[in-house]
Amino acid sequence: MINSLNSLNRNPKSWLQQQAMLHPDAPACQWNDECWTFGELSSKVQSYADYYHRTLPESSKRVALYSENDLTAYLSILALWELGKEIQFVNTRLTANEINEQLADAETSILISAKKIMINEQVTIHPFPDSSELRELLSEEWFDNGYQEQEVASIMYTSGTTGKPKGVPQTFANHFASAQATSLSLGVEASDSWVCCVPLYHISGLSILLRSLVLAIQVILLPGFAPQQVHQLLMNGKGTYISLVTKMLKDLEPLIPDRGYSPSFKHVLLGGGPGEERVIHSCLKKQVPVMLSYGMTETCSQIVALLPEAVLTKIGSSGKALSGVSIHIQKNTKTEQMGEILVKGPSIVQCYLNQVSPESWTEDGWFHTGDWGYLDKEGYLYIVSRMSERIISGGENIFPVEIERVLLASDKIAEAIVVGCPDDTWGQTPVAYVKLREPLVDGELNDALTSLARYKHPTQIYSVSEIPKTATGKPIKRLFMTKERVKYIEYQIR
């Protein structure tokens, strides 16, 4: 079929079809024991595209996708892009209420899912295809309606300082720039393969799929992260790169042999929050290079990276800006070293969905990250704190104000604040301090928190005598991140 496609002298817009023409026999995807070349993958994806073309309403420009990592979801993503669809990725850890809010905000009326979810009646659940519903297409029937640079490829929701999740529309141009910048920073070659054990509904996972399309590398897709499975895969010489968050690397590190993995293994790309120094040093000692990275949903994956050779000399740094990325520190005074981190570059989105929070971008295009940090004389970025008070727990973003609003909905709670607490397992977990109107037990708190995903639930909750405030009435949260908090704690509820 690929030879037939070549004979037509077509110039497809599809990145997948381009790779199928240029590298028809190169490995593209591995799932369990099955492997596909770019030629085979392109043909299979067209069968999926045909299914969705026949079964989705013609007017459905935007569709949502709810799935853990699996082959059907992977093929569906590629098929929907061939049809020119915008895909709203749904975090499977969210509650039905949270999912409904995001679908309503994006005005998405179709959710592709194998699982029945309690969603509102305005949304239709559409099934993934069964093998009996697929047919093989002739090359002249192939779809090629997507991959327009300025068109939206994906929409992911992220919370902001208001606690209300905001849709982030990521264009194909954003993704292309991100893949190219990563290639330059890591020296990615067409013969490389990338292990994907992080969720495809997160930018960390989806960016691996997109790198494959842009750079002609293989994706080794796993259903999730299982330390022993990943270890065995790398021991067998499979995968030259892998993306992990700190919790994953911490679980993998004890399994890594003293001499590391296969000589073909190149890097661990570590994201999702600060790395743990002891674990990183252990990996380097075992000849497993770790590249620290900094990025977010709005930047379409990493925009700053710290090469393994700089980890020991630039302790605490997130690294240098990738190709095409500029960093500006917005300071309150000229004498200050630190300030808010602003970034600009082709991988950074230009707005939120529905044009909310336009103040997040300056008039000349700089994006306010909400993080506080500084640049040293050599251009290395150091992140000092999260201005947005974001908590990163096991790679998941948690915003205190979202939890606080739920707690304050209880008639028994007069005031509430949530802060991040260091955790050996997850990096951070949320801890709540509440001023009560009347006694409250843990069971009542569990009932109050049911509208939130489980990972957002505070691991500890304390009753306090008061929550100190500034002159303008803003809670002084930093007091509850120090030993000084004992002055206010009455007893522990959870």
pLDDT in tens, 296-326: 999 999 999 999 989 889 988 999 999 999 9
Kindly report, residue by residue over 405-436, the tens digit of the pLDDT.
889 888 899 889 999 998 888 989 999 999 99
Confidence (pLDDT) at 58: 87
Confidence (pLDDT) at 402: 82
Task: Say yes or no to pLDDT of 138 above 50.
Answer: yes
Confidence (pLDDT) at 474: 65
Confidence (pLDDT) at 386: 64
Residue 229's pLDDT band (cuts 50, 70, 90): very high
Task: Say yes or no to pLDDT of 16 above 50.
Answer: yes
pLDDT more than 70, % of the chain? 95
Confidence (pLDDT) at 388: 61
> What is the pLDDT averaged over residues 162-174?
88
pLDDT more than 90, % of the chain? 73
Task: Say yes or no to pLDDT of 485 above 70.
Answer: yes
pLDDT: which is higher, 389 or 51: 51
Please name each of the domains of the chain with its CATH number: 2-292 (3.40.50.12780), 391-492 (3.30.300.30)
Kindly report, residue by residue over 39-59, the tens digit of the pLDDT.
999 999 999 999 999 999 988
Confidence (pLDDT) at 335: 67
Task: Say yes or no to pLDDT of 5 above 70.
Answer: no
Average pLDDT of the chain to the nearest whole number = 91
**Range in 40-44, 116-120, 262-266, 455-459 the model is least confident about:** 116-120
Kindly report, residue by residue over 448-481, the tens digit of the pLDDT.
899 899 999 999 999 999 998 754 456 888 789 8
Sort 464 into a burial class: Cβ within 10 Å, 0-12 / 13-18 / 19+: buried
Single out the residue of 214, 270, 269, 213 nearest to residue 240, CA to CA. 269
Task: Say yes or no to pLDDT of 276 above 80.
Answer: no
Q: Is 220 helix (H, G, I), strand (E, B) or coil?
A: strand
Residue 131's pLDDT band (cuts 50, 70, 90): very high
Helix axis angle, 71-82 to 38-55, nearest 10°: 70
What DSSP assignment string belongs to 349-375? -S--GGG--GGGB-TTS-EEEEEEEEE
For the chain, the C-alpha Rg in angstroms (whole number) is 23
Backbone angles phi, psi at 86, to 5 degrees: -90, 135
Determine if the pTM surpasses 0.95: no
Taking CA 184 as the corner, what is the angle to CA 337 and CA 295, rounded to the nearest 5 degrees? 45
**Range in 17-26, 159-168, 451-460 the model is least confident about:** 159-168
Confidence (pLDDT) at 275: 77
Confidence (pLDDT) at 370: 87
Residue 247's pLDDT band (cuts 50, 70, 90): confident
HEC string for 83-109: CCCEEEEECCCCCHHHHHHHHHHHCCC
> What is the pLDDT averaged over residues 323-334?
89
Confidence (pLDDT) at 447: 85
pLDDT: which is higher, 327 or 387: 327
Confidence (pLDDT) at 2: 39
Residue 387's pLDDT band (cuts 50, 70, 90): low
- Alpha helix segments (H runs only) across 286-422: 400-408
